[in-house]
C-alpha cells in the first residue's frame, strides 16, 4: 500500500539525523507519523481534521508535536515543534549548544556531536564516556581501528573544543 505523505521534516539530534514524515487523510482524518521510515503513530478515522499529534523520537527522547491547521477550503498547513519550540527555533538553539564533525574516512562515516551544555559526546549515535584531565576535559574513544579524542581547552577568553583523529586535529563542520 502506498503512503500519501503530505509533510516531511529533517531533525538533527545528537544521535543523528531523523526524517519525520506525516500522512494526513483529508477526508478520513487518518494520521500516520513515520520516523526514519518506521511508523511511530497511527490514528484512523479521526472526525476532527485539524489539531495536533504528539510523539517522541531520538536518543535521548525528544518530544515532538505536529500541528495541523486549516488554511481555507480543504487545504491544510503542517508545522513541527520539537521540545516545545518551532523546528526553526529548535534548530537555531541546537546550533548554539552543539558542535558537530561529519567525517568520511575511507569507506567509514563518523558523526561526532559535542553537547556543550552537558559536555556529552556522541559518535554515530552512541554516547561516549568522558574523562577529566588537569587542563580541561577530554573524551577519548575508539571506533574500529581509529582513535578519537575530543578536548575542551581553556583559551584566553573562552573554552575551545578540538577533535583529534589518530593525534591529528580535525576542523568541525
* DSSP letters spanning 27-48: TT--EEEEETTEEEEEE-S-S-
**Model pLDDT, residue 167:** 87
The answer to whether residue 60 sits within a structural domain is yes
Report whether pLDDT(140) > 90: no
45-65: average pLDDT: 89
**How many domains, the chain?**
2
137-153: average pLDDT: 82
Same domain, 102 and 73: no
Q: What is the dihedral sign for C-alpha 24, 29, 66, 20? A: negative
**Model pLDDT, residue 1:** 47
- Which residues neighbour 145 within 8 Å (Cβ) at sequence distance 6 or greater? none
Specify the range with the lowest mean pLDDT, choosing from 48-62, 85-99, 140-154: 140-154
- The more confident residue out of 74 and 109 is 109
Give the model's confidence band at 97: pLDDT under 50 very low, under 70 low, under 90 confident, else very high: very high
Q: What is the pTM of this model?
A: 0.83
64's grid cell? 515532538
The answer to whether residue 37 sits within a structural domain is yes
The answer to whether residue 88 sits within a structural domain is no
99-109: average pLDDT: 86
CATH number at residue 126: 2.40.128.180
The answer to whether residue 90 sits within a structural domain is no
Same domain, 13 and 42: yes
* Containing structural domain, residue 76: 5-83
Distance CA 7, CA 3 (A): 12
The average confidence (pLDDT) of the chain is 87
Same domain, 108 and 75: no
Report whether pLDDT(18) > 90: yes
Report whether pLDDT(102) > 50: yes
Report whether 143 contacts 124 (CB < 8 A).
Answer: yes
93-101: average pLDDT: 92
Report whether pLDDT(99) > 80: yes
Same domain, 115 and 76: no
Amino acid at each position: 500500500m502506498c503512503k500519501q505523505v503530505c509533510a516531511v521534516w529533517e531533525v538533527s539530534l545528537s544521535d543523528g539525523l531523523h526524517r519525520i514524515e506525516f500522512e494526513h487523510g483529508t477526508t478520513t482524518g487518518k494520521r500516520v507519523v513515520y520516523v526514519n521510515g518506521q511508523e511511530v503513530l497511527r490514528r484512523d478515522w479521526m472526525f476532527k481534521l485539524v489539531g495536533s499529534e504528539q510523539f517522541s523520537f531520538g536518543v535521548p527522547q525528544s518530544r515532538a508535536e505536529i500541528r495541523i491547521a486549516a488554511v481555507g477550503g480543504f487545504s491544510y498547513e503542517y508545522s513541527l515543534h520539537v521540545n516545545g519550540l518551532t523546528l526553526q527555533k529548535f534548530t537555531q538553539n541546537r546550533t548554539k549548544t552543539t558542535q558537530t564533525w561529519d567525517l568520511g574516512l575511507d569507506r567509514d562515516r563518523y558523526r561526532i556531536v559535542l553537547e556543550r551544555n552537558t559536555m556529552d559526546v556522541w559518535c554515530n549515535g552512541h554516547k561516549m564516556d568522558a574523562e577529566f584531565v588537569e587542563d580541561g576535559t577530554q573524551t577519548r574513544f575508539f571506533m574500529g581501528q581509529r582513535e578519537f579524542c575530543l578536548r575542551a581547552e581553556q583559551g584566553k577568553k573562552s573554552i575551545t573544543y578540538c577533535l583529534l583523529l589518530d593525534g591529528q586535529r580535525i576542523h568541525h563542520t
